[in-house]
């Protein structure tokens, strides 16, 4: 399993494509831990390189953007498909620290 391995994450029925190296950027988060080399034997892909996560597929685009950029981007309202509360729940689930609002 190389760091440049192509991975498909099926999150709540929406498929996202990324690289293992992208998820490994933050090794103390859920996906960073999940795709760490030492946990390889625990992974159960459904179609070779596809992994299913029973989470909010719409919110996950913001989670993946964090892994890609290191920045938490909050959706603009009222056109967003996901609320800030839903997104906060997903950041918590994926073990990504969200700065407190002032």
Q: CATH code at 77?
A: 3.30.710.10
Residue 58 domain-assigned (yes or no):
yes
**pTM (two decimals):** 0.85
Give the tens place of pLDDT for each residue, 16-54: 999 999 999 999 999 999 888 777 767 777 888 899 999
The pLDDT of residue 3 is above 70: no
State the DSSP H helix or E strand holding residue 68, giving kind and residue range, or none if neither.
helix 57-69
Tell me what pLDDT residue 2 has: 54
Count of alpha carbons within 13 angstroms of residue 22, beta-carbon side:
16
Closest CA to 30 of 95, 81, 86: 95
Domain around 35: 6-93
pLDDT band with cut points at 50, 70 and 90 for residue 102: very low
Q: Which residues pair with 7 in a beta bridge?
A: 18
Query: What are 64-98's pLDDT values in tens digits?
Result: 999 999 999 888 876 678 988 999 999 999 999 98
Rounded CA-CA distance 81/57 in Å is 10
Look at the chain and report how many structural domains it folds into: 1
């Amino acid at each position: 399993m190389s760091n440049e391995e192509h991975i498909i994450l099926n999150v709540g029925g929406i498929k996202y494509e990324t690289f293992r190296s992208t998820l490994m950027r933050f090794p103390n988060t859920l996906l960073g831990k999940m795709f760490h080399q030492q946990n390889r034997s625990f992974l159960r892909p459904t179609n070779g390189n596809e992994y299913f996560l029973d989470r909010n597929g719409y919110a996950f685009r913001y989670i993946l953007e964090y892994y890609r950029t290191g920045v938490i981007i909050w959706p603009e309202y009222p056109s967003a498909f996901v609320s800030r509360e839903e997104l906060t729940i997903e950041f918590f689930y994926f073990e990504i620290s969200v700065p407190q609002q002032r």
